[in-house]
Amino acid sequence: MKILIKKGKIVNSKERKPRVADILIDKGKIAKIAPQISCEGIEKEINAAGKIIMPTLIDMHVHLREPGREDKETIETGTKAALAGGAATILAMPNTEPAIDSREAVKLLKEKLKEKAHSNVLISAAITEGRKGKKLVDIEGLAQEGVKAITDDGSSVDDSQLMLKAFEQAKKNDIIVICHSEDRSLSKKGVLNLGFSSTCLGLRGIPKSAEFERVARDIRLAEEAEARIHIAHLSCKESVEIISQAKKRGVRVSAETAPHYFSLSEEDLWDFDTNKKINPPLRSRDDALAIKQALREGVIDLIASDHAPHTENEKDIEFERAEFGTIGLETELAVAVTELIEVKFLDWPDLVNKFTAKPAEVLKIPEPEIKEGRKAELIVFDPKKEWVVEKNNFFSKSKNSCFLGRKLKGKIERVFYKGRFI
């Protein structure tokens, strides 16, 4: 099947100047890119004038919940949501029930993915058995099964000696350690950022030190082991500074943030919306600005959704009892455009870099590119279209979005995956 996309603005992370051109897709591959293409046998023509054509995204922080919590999300619904949000490749977190902590668990998940997945799913495994922080998993065996990363995401390994051994074995097997950096002796039973809002609302606060002190420890251990480390879901300026200094020292550290950390703040919790109850919590406006600046400066390497689906029963209850987490696969690109592109904090190649080249570099996988000879995996995106986030528009099984009711700028119109129009 021949498809011709006309007059779209093509954005690749390596090309500093986007170009307007036609794209010919033939038998699933990008056959030609040129200012003007005329060709016989075109079966579908797409007018992309005024639209952005960009590679599909890589989201390296997604909770699919299967196995064990299919009431929240499944491989089928989660990967449909990923494609709807433009992410053709996602990294699945291992905090399922039971946790992905053995070769057998990985093999079972691979079988489920073959049967049910609509997008490409990479697998991360736990650092410790059952994510209990007591005994290391078989890191070598997991690496042999093709696991791309190890993480106890949702928990931090408190035992520093155990964590050091994890870094040493990860280095030996050339996989990256993703750290959920949280000292629970400091966060305790907090439910939002410790500060003005927690005091006014009469709720237990989570100090920023619960994050940044553990970030510092994790980086110190990785530096000692000379291992690669990736810090997940950064939320505060102190963590940014620690990572900046570590990069200057040559530590092999990368970091991510999620759209809610640069678009919302603790003040957005004054309505007690439990969809905005997130871990780490929404911080101050100053922290949100620091996160945006760190994205611009490259201290934070990439953007990931931290897609964390929960049922209505787990969210539509008292704030203190509600689960932490928000879904984000289907809103992450539009939020980034609204908060970063529209206000000229980043340009389009920079944004594409945060969603494609950088996660590819961290995971050591090929970078998505719009290039002749490559499989057609791309997004047709209308950067001017405004839309309101509504529950009934999600492919995700859960609807707990912290952006419900919010007007966003930019809408995905079409996604091509594996050479096919989705």
pLDDT for residue 281: 98
Average pLDDT score, the chain: 97
- Which letter, b or e, does each residue of 391-410 get, where b requires 16 or more Cβ atoms within 10 Å of its Cβ? eeebbbbbbbbbbbebebbb
Name, in order, each residue with C-beta under 8 angstroms of 118's C-beta and a sequence gap of 6 or more: 76, 79, 80, 82, 83
pLDDT for residue 1: 84
pLDDT for residue 419: 87
pLDDT for residue 233: 98
Residue 136 DSSP class: B
pLDDT bucket at 309, cuts 50 / 70 / 90: very high
For tokens 């995700």, name the residue: 396
The tens digit of pLDDT for each residue in 232-264 reads 999 999 999 999 999 999 999 999 999 999 999
Residue 326 DSSP class: B
The tens digit of pLDDT for each residue in 159-188 reads 999 999 999 999 999 999 999 999 999 999
pLDDT bucket at 410, cuts 50 / 70 / 90: very high
As a whole number of angstroms, the distance between CA 248 and CA 378 comes to 35
pLDDT for residue 231: 98
Average pLDDT over residues 50-67: 98
As a whole number of angstroms, the distance between CA 145 and CA 106 comes to 7
- For the purposes of burial, counting CB atoms within 10 Å of the CB of 16, is it exposed (0-12), middle (13-18) or buried (19 or more)? exposed
pLDDT for residue 215: 98
The tens digit of pLDDT for each residue in 344-363 reads 999 999 999 999 999 999 99
Check if 306 is active-site. Answer: yes
The tens digit of pLDDT for each residue in 185-236 reads 999 999 999 999 999 999 999 999 999 999 999 999 999 999 999 999 999 9
pLDDT for residue 422: 84
- pTM of the predicted model, to two decimals? 0.97
As a whole number of angstroms, the distance between CA 9 and CA 382 comes to 10
The tens digit of pLDDT for each residue in 96-125 reads 999 999 999 999 999 999 999 999 999 999
Q: Structural domain boundaries of the chain?
A: 57-363
For residue 189, count other CB atoms closer than 10 A to its CB.
Answer: 8
As a whole number of angstroms, the distance between CA 409 and CA 107 comes to 41
- Long-range contact list for 261-266, CB < 8 A, 24+ apart? 261/233, 261/234, 261/235, 261/287, 261/288, 261/291, 262/288, 262/291, 262/292, 262/295, 262/339, 262/340, 263/288, 263/335, 263/338, 263/339, 264/288, 264/402, 266/192, 266/193, 266/195, 266/196, 266/197, 266/198
Q: Rounded to whole angstroms, what are the CA distances from 238 to 155, 218, 261, 304, 369?
A: 20, 14, 14, 20, 34
Q: pLDDT over 70 for what percent of the chain?
A: 100
As a whole number of angstroms, the distance between CA 183 and CA 165 comes to 19
Active-site hit among 22, 306, 347, 382: 306
The vertex-182 CA angle with 177 and 185, nearest 5°, equals 135
Per CATH, the homologous superfamily of domain 57-363 is Metal-dependent hydrolases (3.20.20.140)
The tens digit of pLDDT for each residue in 3-22 reads 999 999 999 999 989 999 99
The tens digit of pLDDT for each residue in 366-385 reads 999 999 999 999 999 999 99
